[in-house]
Structure 1
Amino acid sequence: MASWSTYVQGFLYIALLFFFIPIKINGPDKVETQFQQYLTTFNKSYDDPEEYLNKLQAFKLSLETIELLNSNKTNTSAQYGLTKYSDLLPEEFVSNHLYANLSQRLSLHHSRPQRVERRFSVPGKIDWRDKHVVTEVHDQGTCGACWAYAVVETIETMKAIKTNKTEDFSVQEIIDCAGNNNNGCDGGDTCSLLAWMTYTNFTLLRERDYVRKNHQCNPGSMEGVKLDSYICESFVGREQIMLRLLAENGPLAVAINAQTWQNYVGGVIEYHCDGDAGKLNHAVQIVGYDLTASIPYYIVRNSWGPDFGNGGYLYIAVDKNMCGVANEVSALTVL
């Protein structure tokens, strides 16, 4: 005779058949529904079934990553959500938008460390955008030339500070022409670029004046801008110097670790962003800071278009070497 527990087990098995299996087979997949909404929002489509499934899997992984990154945060900490990169696997994101081997080619052309007094004060807030000397946010696409964008953007701002006039200068000229182990869309380094521009006395042309010739470097003889001086240093543990340079000189070009930025949508990054110099993979421009905020932060201009982050900008916590922001820092002046 069957025991009482056997009847209970049988009942539960039948209940599972009626209530759970039909939902799994006939009900909509919540994640796939989210994915369909995501494709609509970001104007994407994948007609090939295999590609669609691969993108769906990447999307699922992004959802899991977003949930993890949004844990252990305050109201003003960084927020993570769906972005135009959320249908990429992490390795695809690195391959398409970062430069994984940047740390292996950090420049040996750093200038000597500058002597500064140990204690000094800086304004509570600096934002060079307020002075109308920062050009519009650019989009590097899948070209790995963040190093060129960061330097050219900083040159643009330093020139605008001097002339009170903003102009776009040619990133493409740098991509085509820069030597010293810089390889166009295949990667480069901000410090080695600045060293090369200095010892070649390179003239950076305005964007409208640079014309490629046979898809190669064609510097021409038009009037442009030249570097006057630059420094490139590590300020790990000395971020007060970075703040002073931002306040007294102008924006900075820095190497950074952007691995966890794939799904960044706003707020101040103060967790989940490794500062190890061996993990640097991107370059950006810092255009200011805010020490009066509940979490003091740098204002970081990215080159992934104005539809990423906060109008193309991110905020990174000050004085923590967050994302490796203090490992390779460049400041410059122009003639």
Structure 2
Amino acid sequence: MHLEKLALVLSAVIACVLSSKFLDQEWKAWKNKHDKEYNTLHDAMFRRKAWEATWHKVQKHNQLAEQGLSTYRMAMNKFADMTPEERTSRKCFLSNKKSTSQKNVPVQVSSTTLNIPESVDWRDSKCVTRVKDQGFCGSCWAFATVGVFESHHCIKTKELVEFSEQQLVDCDSGNDACCGGLPENAMAYISKHGIMKAKDYEYADKHLACSYKPDNAVTFNLTKYYILPGEENMALSLAFDGPMSVGIDASDDFQLYRDGIYDGECTPEPNHAVIVVGYGTEHDEDADEDIDYWIVRNSWGEDWGENGYVKMRRNVNLCGIATDASSVDMTR
């Protein structure tokens, strides 16, 4: 009996040692991949502990995905050494509920008699710029706004130009620079001042003194900017007019997204602005059902999600995606 107990204890010790060595190797490879360095031993130990918790979370979730119990998978991405509290505190979007400056923004309700295509992807039109990275600045609102203007300008002129997020961060007093903002406010700023090209006003990942030069700004024949209520209106506008900005909840699960159709957890209020560039439907063989989804461009770099994009479940107002949708009307 004592020998059996000793054998069980030894087996547990060996398994623990092997697991520890495996995680050591994984930790080292992850740090190399994401160029992670820590200033102190205490910081390194804290980050390693957070990373291990994320590792176990990701493995557990992906096992469910392999069993057909989830429609998306998670990744040990560049956010993996953050705690869940740190990941969910990366707020850069001020919802309409908190804003009093846009009471006069028109609400556009599209005609429900229009027949929309089964799927749309504005990337096919070559009118969607590359995926960008906002870095540590809470400037998602600027990236979402600029992305909408880039696409709509291209749709009207057939010229794809990258515009300056940094101008909005530095000069748009209607928003709060790296501490968050609202795309409708930024649309109002651009409609009045225009916007410079990115090559003339480069992104700095921080708030600087305003260097706006009116003579270098591109101005637009902007009919209006507007809010879109509900996913049906969003789909109609997207199909016939072009990409739009939306506010979503970038929860802990969302930030660890790898691929598939995201339908994970959300918190009550949107905290992140992104761009919807398309929609579609995919058949889930495990559930034997068709799942509608949005194609969403993020501003966390190409090394996040599906080359910077995420597919989010559609027609269920997932993560409040239909709560703060906005777009623009341009003429040539």
TM class by shorter-chain length? 0.7 to 0.9
Aligned residue identity for 2:165: V
Whether the 8 Å contact between 1:173 and 1:205 is mirrored in structure 2 is yes
Within the candidate set 281, 285, 288, 2:278 is matched to 288
Aligned with 2:291: secondary structure? Answer: coil
- In structure 2, the CA distance between the partners of 1:26 and 1:164, relative to structure 1 (3 Å rule), is closer
Deviation at 1:23?
5.8
1: CA distance, partners of 2:178 / 2:96:
17
Deviation at 1:29?
4.1
Within the candidate set 203, 206, 223, 2:197 is matched to 206
Whether the 8 Å contact between 2:294 and 2:311 is mirrored in structure 1 is yes
- In structure 2, the CA distance between the partners of 1:36 and 1:102, relative to structure 1 (3 Å rule), is farther
Deviation at 1:76?
8.2
Residues 282-291 or 42-51, more deviating: 42-51
* Bigger Rg, which one: 1
> Is residue 250 from structure 1 mapped to residue 239 from structure 2 by the alignment?
no
Residues 131-140 or 185-194, more deviating: 185-194
Within the candidate set 84, 87, 94, 2:88 is matched to 94
Deviation at 1:42?
2.6
Within the candidate set 181, 184, 188, 1:188 is matched to 181
Which residue of the partner structure matches residue 160 of structure 1? 154
Which residue of the partner structure matches residue 319 of structure 2? 323
- RMSD over aligned CA atoms reads 2.8
Report how many aligned residue pairs link the two structures. Answer: 316
Within the candidate set 302, 311, 314, 2:310 is matched to 314
> Is residue 40 from structure 1 mapped to residue 26 from structure 2 by the alignment?
no
- In structure 2, the CA distance between the partners of 1:101 and 1:210, relative to structure 1 (3 Å rule), is closer
Residues 65-214 of structure 1: matches in 2 within 5 Å? Answer: 65-70=57-62, 71=64, 74=68, 77-95=71-89, 97-99=90-92, 102=95, 105-106=98-99, 108-110=101-103, 111-180=105-174, 182-198=175-191, 201-210=192-201
Deviation at 1:102?
4.9
Residues 294-309 of structure 1: matches in 2 within 5 Å? Answer: 294-309=290-305
Aligned with 1:291: secondary structure? Answer: strand
Deviation at 1:103?
6.9
- In structure 2, the CA distance between the partners of 1:177 and 1:167, relative to structure 1 (3 Å rule), is same
2: CA distance, partners of 1:18 / 1:128:
59
Aligned with 1:272: secondary structure? Answer: coil
1: CA distance, partners of 2:57 / 2:250:
15
Aligned residue identity for 1:302: N
Which residue of the partner structure matches residue 286 of structure 2? none
Percent of aligned positions with the same letter in both sequences? 28
Q: Deviations over 1:148-188 (max 9, x none)?
A: 000001001100111101011111111111122x1111111
Q: Deviations over 1:105-139 (max 9, x none)?
A: 34551534334444432101111111111111111
Which residue of the partner structure matches residue 265 of structure 1? 258
TM-score normalized by the length of structure 2: 0.85
Whether the 8 Å contact between 1:85 and 1:93 is mirrored in structure 2 is yes
Deviation at 1:309?
0.8
Whether the 8 Å contact between 2:93 and 2:141 is mirrored in structure 1 is no
Q: Which stretches in structure 1 are left out of the alignment for 5+ residues?
A: 1-7
Moved over 6 A (4+): none
Deviation at 1:263?
1.2
- In structure 2, the CA distance between the partners of 1:207 and 1:65, relative to structure 1 (3 Å rule), is same
- In structure 2, the CA distance between the partners of 1:161 and 1:101, relative to structure 1 (3 Å rule), is closer
1: CA distance, partners of 2:320 / 2:19:
46
2: CA distance, partners of 1:170 / 1:18:
61
TM-score normalized by the length of structure 1: 0.84
Whether the 8 Å contact between 1:155 and 1:334 is mirrored in structure 2 is no
Aligned residue identity for 1:314: V
Q: Which stretches in structure 2 are left out of the alignment for 5+ residues?
A: 284-289
Aligned residue identity for 1:256: I
- In structure 2, the CA distance between the partners of 1:124 and 1:30, relative to structure 1 (3 Å rule), is same
